[in-house]
Structure 1
Amino acid sequence: MRSLKGQRVLITGASGGLGQALAWVLAEQGAHVALAARRLERLQELQEALQRSGYKAVAISLDVTDADAVTYGLHRTVEALGGLDILVNNAGLAYFGSVSTMAPQQMARLVATNIYGALYTSQAAVPYLETSRGMIVNISSPLAKRAFPYVSFYAGTKSFLNAVSDGMRLELKARGIHVLTYMAPETATDLAQHTLHAPGVTLPPIRRRLADPRHVALQISRAIRHERREVMASRFFVALGLMMPGLVDWLLYHAMVRRYRHENF
């Protein structure tokens, strides 16, 4: 089992939501955390709050879609923490709308953030993680296994991330680097506020209960300590889809497509 005490961790997308919750949970368990995101002011507020509580934290302004910025950000992280043991690829962007009308610019933004962002940071981190025999944690979604209507392009980026994680896990095994894919449940974060959507489309109100970010962060920390290979937090629709795919199609059609296609599309 991996102890988190003294582990040097870089978390992307750390300025809010799950990334912020992860920073607190990992710091409480003894990790030294580098907080990376584009919103530097929010990162600095989190850094100061962690430091007031006696934890080691550093804020790193980082746009994961910029390969050169990522390389520089990793260098700054290693310089500040003295090395790197764990990379958490948490930065992500969502989209609500039909793939059939999705603008190329929106496709490019999702791919740049959800796919290239994770690849750039992973590539830049590998030399440091090889030295420490460290770990890459890719935050994915159960939608990678079963896409829902109107979030299918987002689900596709997460499916890509899952596939890359599976390959990287084997490619990096000989270099002593472990890869964990964590498919987090729908969590009460500010992701919806930054969700891209089709012109004229409003996001539907969320009536279902969402997972608490701290609870999800605790489960991720547990998966890290146990060096799990893959964790999927919510399996109901995936399992049902394997047994009765036609029924799941019918449920999703009546729950989402019939409801929103005349209102928004």
Structure 2
Amino acid sequence: MTNVQENVVWITGASSGIGKAMAFEWARLGYKVVLSSRRKELLDKVADEIRLSGGEALVIPCDIMEETAIETAVQQIIETWGRMDVVVANAGFGVFGSVEKLTAKDWNRQLQGNVIGLALTIKYALPYLKKNNGRIGLVGSVAAYLPNPNIGAYGASKAAVHSIGLTMQVELMGTGVSCTTLHPGFVASEIARIDNDGVWHPEQPDPRPSNLIWPTDKAAKVMVKAVLKRKRNYVFTGHGKVVVWLQNWFPGIVRFIISKGPKPDS
């Protein structure tokens, strides 16, 4: 790749959580950062922080539920900065409820955002990544490997992300572009505070064990490093690695542990 200061990284879901933290990390490394999500006012604050620290940031609001919005965002990036070197498909959310109770609307929304939106982000970025031996980061989840009571739609969507990553690693052979699928365990985020209709509830408690939740800046550093090293699949947080190993070799133990965990509303 060329001089890092000329390189452009595009991050979806960059207004909060892991996406926001990754934006700061890429900027710290000298990359020009394109920030996308639905919430422009939050993106503007992230961009201001990056600029105050001496970095370059471009805000392009984009709803990954809309194909035309994704295509337009890519066109705006190329029109403004003329290139794309890294794309991190991070935008996503969780739909909650048991499989017995989830509606077709719930399933469609979950898969449209976490799977189709992610795939189309890659589709429209790929022609420009191929010009620069670029890098792709797909944000999955440890949930891709596990049983997921009451978040079955979310787990299914992340299993699909894992499959897309495996597929891209074959389809991209010979192009110079790499695809890294990132599977975090518990990382601080707003996901538990957003309902099935996409409405944010700041007062909603996070049911995940607080002692296992990684801060976003710590997660961002290892995720960016994995993408830069062109790793294929990267499972992280210590507990994430342990539980995936257990699922591979002792799935009955994992089922027992998860069955005894906190029961979110179904």
- Which aligned pairs between 1:1-265 and structure 2 lie closer than 5 A? 4-196=4-196, 205-209=207-211, 210-233=213-236, 234-256=240-262, 259=263, 264-265=265-266
The amino acid that maps onto 2:253 is L
Task: Report SS of the residue matched to 2:68.
Answer: helix
The amino acid that maps onto 2:119 is L
TM-score (norm 1): 0.91
Quote the residue 2:200 is aligned against. Answer: none
User: Structure 1, residues 198-237: CA drift from partner, whole Å, max 9, x if none?
Assistant: xxxx876334321110000000111122111110012212
User: Structure 1, residues 128-167: CA drift from partner, whole Å, max 9, x if none?
Assistant: 0111110110011011011321112101101111111111
Contact 2:145 2:247 in 1 (8 A): no
The amino acid that maps onto 1:208 is S
Task: Report SS of the residue matched to 1:100.
Answer: coil
Contact 1:2 1:226 in 2 (8 A): no
**CA distance in 1: counterparts of 2:207 and 2:18, whole angstroms:** 20
**CA distance in 2: counterparts of 1:232 and 1:205, whole angstroms:** 22
CA apart distance, 1:78: 1.7
User: Structure 1, residues 45-80: CA drift from partner, whole Å, max 9, x if none?
Assistant: 211221121101000010111111111100101222
Contact 2:193 2:205 in 1 (8 A): no
TM-score (norm 2): 0.90
Contact 2:7 2:32 in 1 (8 A): yes
CA 1:206/1:3 → structure 2, altered by over 3 Å: closer, same or farther?
farther
User: Structure 1, residues 183-205: CA drift from partner, whole Å, max 9, x if none?
Assistant: 012111122222428xxxx8763
Task: Report SS of the residue matched to 1:88.
Answer: strand
Q: Percent identity among equivalent residues?
A: 26
Contact 2:35 2:43 in 1 (8 A): yes
Give the gaps of 5 or more residues in structure 2.
198-203
Stretch moving more, 234-243 or 141-150? 234-243
Contact 1:11 1:23 in 2 (8 A): yes
Corresponding pairs, count = 256
The amino acid that maps onto 1:57 is A
Give 4+ residue runs of structure 1 displaced > 6 Å after superposition.
none
CA apart distance, 1:103: 1.5
Task: Report SS of the residue matched to 1:118.
Answer: helix
CA 1:180/1:3 → structure 2, altered by over 3 Å: closer, same or farther?
farther
**CA distance in 1: counterparts of 2:2 and 2:217, whole angstroms:** 20
The amino acid that maps onto 1:228 is K
Stretch moving more, 225-234 or 1-10? 1-10
CA apart distance, 1:32: 0.5
**CA distance in 2: counterparts of 1:243 and 1:205, whole angstroms:** 27
The amino acid that maps onto 1:205 is P
User: Structure 1, residues 73-131: CA drift from partner, whole Å, max 9, x if none?
Assistant: 00101222220000000001112210111021111111111001111110001110111
The amino acid that maps onto 2:159 is S
What is the aligned-residue RMSD (CA, Å)?
1.9
**CA distance in 1: counterparts of 2:99 and 2:4, whole angstroms:** 41
Contact 2:5 2:31 in 1 (8 A): yes
Contact 2:193 2:206 in 1 (8 A): no
